A = this chain, B = another copy of it.
Amino acid sequence: EAPASVPLAAVELCSKKPPKGTFIQKADAAQEIGLMVRDLRAVDPSFRSQAAAILPRQSGIIIHLAHVRVIVLADRVLAFDPTNPAVEYFLPKLQRRLDAPSHPMPFEFRAIEAVLVEVVSTFNARIGTLIPSLDLVLDTLSTTQDFGGDTVQNCMDRLLPLENALNEFGAKVAQTRAALNEVLVSDEDMSLMYISTFKETGIRRRIDQHDEVEMMLENYMKQIDTVHSEVTSALQAVKATENATQIRLDAMRNRVLRLDIFLNLGAVSVGVGGLVAGVFGMNLLSGIEEDPAAFWIVSGISFLTSIMFFRGILAFLRMRRIFY
């Protein structure tokens, strides 16, 4: 566990008051809000790879979803990591929602909904940049005929980082989904989330009364599901296209190899014809040196041998079905 001594920078937001920067000592905050020091790790931005979490506690709800790290209390919200540009951009939107005059839901749910809206719109923005780039690469890859050139190479160079980004993003979405689901399956957690009711009346909500929060969470979970299924679809398309590309590269290679066979057969045939010419080029007595027709006859034989050899072997291969 990291030492709790470095204070965390935070911004405190209330309804209809300007936000106020502050520094929070983990130990003090824990005591004040009534939670364990370790619970605060979820909102400590120095734990970069911390999983998404929604932790309803006695008098506050600790939320870490995507870049948003907040503690929602009955009448104020502590937002952490305020120097992160994404967070800076989010805070005014959060403030606006907290100020909404006639909103039917209590303070804490207005805050949570603001967080969920932010998370979903961040996810949608991310998928809105990833998917089109991916589609472009996959389209090129699945229509190119240029299997010996640079296209496939280029596509793969661009596909791999996209695929990795998509995998990572999918894991993040799944984590967020899991954090939401964990709350949704626990009646206890959901009734615990009515912290303003508890603060005002001093009575805990009955464990089966949490319809508003359940419907709200369900609604955003469905939207996250939509994002998740788009990521899954995209990854399936990557897989399918990669498989198809491999088979098409293989088929193309077979086609090229067949051609190679023709050329090699041509080379042997020419060699055989050359051998015929070669033996008559020897400085030995063939006995037909003086025959004026011999040149043309033997030349013809030489060329014909080449051609006959080529066609003969080819016919043989085809007949034996070794080659077709």
The chain A residues found within 8 Å of chain B, CB to CB, are 1, 36, 38-39, 41-42, 49-51, 53, 55, 57, 117, 142-143, 145-149, 152-153, 156-157, 159-160, 163-164, 167-168, 171, 175, 215-216, 218-219, 222-223, 225-226, 229-230, 232-233, 236-237, 240-261, 263-268, 270-275, 277-292, 294-295, 298-299, 302-303, 306, 317, 322-324
Contacts and interface: CB of A to CB of B under 8 A. Distances in A.
A278 B208 CA distance: 100
B274 A284 contact: no
B302 A278 contact: yes
A302 to B, nearest CB: 6
The winner among A55, A57, A256 for most chain B CB atoms within 10 A is: A256
B50 A226 contact: yes
A284 B288 contact: yes
Going nearest first, the 9 A-B pairs with the smallest beta carbon separation are A277-B278, A270-B271, A280-B282, A148-B258, A152-B251, A263-B264, A284-B295, A281-B281, A279-B299
Contacts of A255: 148-149, 153, 322
A256 to B, nearest CB: 5
Contact of A295 (B271, B282, B291): B282
Given A216-B36, A226-B49, A260-B264, A240 B164 contact: yes
A259 B323 contact: yes
25 contacts: A38-B219, A41-B219, A41-B223, A50-B223, A51-B225, A51-B229, A142-B157, A153-B255, A156-B251, A167-B237, A171-B233, A261-B263, A263-B267, A264-B264, A264-B267, A267-B271, A270-B274, A277-B281, A279-B298, A279-B302, A280-B284, A282-B295, A282-B299, A284-B298, A285-B292
